[in-house]
Amino acid sequence: MEQEESMKRLVLAALALFAALAAGSAHAQAIYKCKAKDGGNAYQAAPCGPDAKPIKVQGTRAASMTDGELANRAAVFKSTDLSSAGIAEQNCLNAANSRIYGSSNQRVADYQAQISRITAQAARANNNLAGATYDSGLRTQIASLQQSIAQERSVADTTMNSERQRCADRRAEAERAIEKRYAPRETATN
């Protein structure tokens, strides 16, 4: 029973000590050191008798970083942000590439399939005047489809070049904002 009472006092003293530390680190808190019945020390926020001795408990303040540590931390954050800007540009390019060349390549594949069918038809044309006229018409269709393929690729390339520039401009803008965010702050000097 006495041991249990002593344990309760010790727990209460510890709680009082932690409460005092948590109450604020800006000023010192008074905690009283008392003698417990079992002869040990007890700590509490109020005087506990004529033998109570006030002790000062100072809260610890957060560890501060040196200028070098702060500069290193800022450099790591800046590097991470710059990497993110590069990744965002790559994602922009990948999306544009998929969007532009995906549909363009599908249309080119369709044109090439038509060319293959027409070429097979031309191979079966008769070797006479009617066959020659038919073959000439088929060759004209093939030339037209090849021209469509060239135009499709040209439009896709031009569009992709514009998208490359747009993605690069966005990255450059992001990098300028990052450089500004991490630029050394000017301190007021007197």
pLDDT in tens, 60-94: 666 688 888 888 988 999 999 999 999 999 999 99
Query: What pLDDT score does 43 carry?
Result: 74
Query: What pLDDT score does 67 carry?
Result: 84
CA 74/CA 97 separation, integer angstroms:
34
Condensed to tens digits (0 to 9), the pLDDT of residues 119-141 reads: 998 888 777 778 788 888 999 99
Checking phi first, is residue 24 left (phi over 0); if not, alpha (psi -120 to 50) or beta?
left
For residues 41 and 35, is the Cβ–Cβ distance under 8 A?
Answer: yes
Most trustworthy range by pLDDT among 35-39, 49-53, 159-163 = 159-163
CA 31/CA 34 separation, integer angstroms:
10
CA 64/CA 70 separation, integer angstroms:
9
**Dihedrals φ, ψ of 41, to 5°?**
-95, 145
Average pLDDT, the chain: 82
Higher pLDDT, 119 or 43: 119
- Give this prediction's pTM: 0.54
CA 26 vs. chain centroid, Å, equals 37
CA 129/CA 14 separation, integer angstroms:
111
- Quick check: 46 pLDDT over 80? no
The least confident of 67-81, 100-114, 125-139, 160-174 is: 125-139
Q: Give the DSSP H/E element, type plus range, for residue 113.
A: helix 67-123
For β-strands 41-44 and 53-57, DSSP reports them as unpaired
Sheet of 41-44: strand order equals: 41-44, 29-35, 53-57
- Residue 98: what residue type? S
Higher pLDDT, 134 or 161: 161
